[in-house]
Amino acid sequence: MDLQFPKHSFLLMGQSNMAGRGNLGDVEKIDNDLCFMYRMMHWIKMEEPINFDSFLDDEFASGVGLSASFADRYAKTYNESIGLIPCAKGGAKLAWWMPGTPLFEQAVLFAKTAMKETELKGILWHQGESDCRLQEDFDAYSERFVTIMTEFRRSIGRPDLPVVIGEISNHISDRWGRLKGYQSINQTLRELADKIPNCRLVACGEFPLKPDGIHFNAQSLRKMGDLYFEAYQALTEK
């Protein structure tokens, strides 16, 4: 193609289930010439792993994520080129995303830089597993999330930028320290989707996980990408 950059773009924010930990090879590869990803502040054709934030030789390798099927559906539905801007970080608590932190400032930088070449259409967010252990974390989740989204939108000059968020799993393994806070996090996410303007929730808490007991498997992530797209479509075409 002679395109140097995509017409539309989306930020990927959150932790490992947004970055993608699905096993490469467990699902069919997505090959779409209209789909791009941001790598070293340059646009290249989309290929998983998109959000490469983990070594390839360990249990939690970067791999299949929900953003690929989201982008594929978007491109096919609107016949427009789409770019994905990976900013998610495995293990990141919500506090790591607060204004002034490296993750927040990097996302602002990437967004502003990409917006010189492409129209930023929204944020895809998935996070919460690392905030399930401590009462103080899931009690503070709502206030922190509102602060992050409000300040992020203000920082890039897009106060109504659409945001799609997804539930964390209802079946997190006891291996992870009996993370029973997932019930509180998911309830808070549902409330946030109603509280924050231009925000929509994807109900994916019952989707199957990998044997590691915390990451959605590749098949689940493909379905989640479709649901994220449908949530975005409903949000923007209402």
pLDDT of residue 57: 55
Asked if 164 and 229 count as a contact pair (C-beta separation under 8 A), the reply is no
Average pLDDT over residues 38-67: 86
pLDDT of residue 53: 82
Buried b (16+ CB within 10 A) or exposed e, 95-123: eebeeeeebbeebbebbeebeebbebbbb
Please give the residue that has the higher pLDDT: either 18 or 59.
18
φ, ψ of residue 235 in degrees (nearest 5): -70, -40
Measured CA to CA, the distance from residue 45 to residue 24 in angstroms comes to 17
Which helix or strand (DSSP H or E) is residue 70 part of?
Answer: helix 66-78
Q: Where do the domains of the chain lie?
A: 8-236
107-154: per-residue pLDDT in tens? 999 999 999 999 999 999 999 999 988 889 989 999 999 999 999 999
Tell me 174's DSSP state. Answer: G
Asked if 87 and 50 count as a contact pair (C-beta separation under 8 A), the reply is no
Confidence of residue 5 (pLDDT cuts 50, 70, 90): confident
Q: Which CATH architecture has domain 8-236?
A: 3-Layer(aba) Sandwich (3.40)
Average predicted confidence (pLDDT) for the chain: 93
* Cβ neighbours of 175 (radius 10 Å): 11
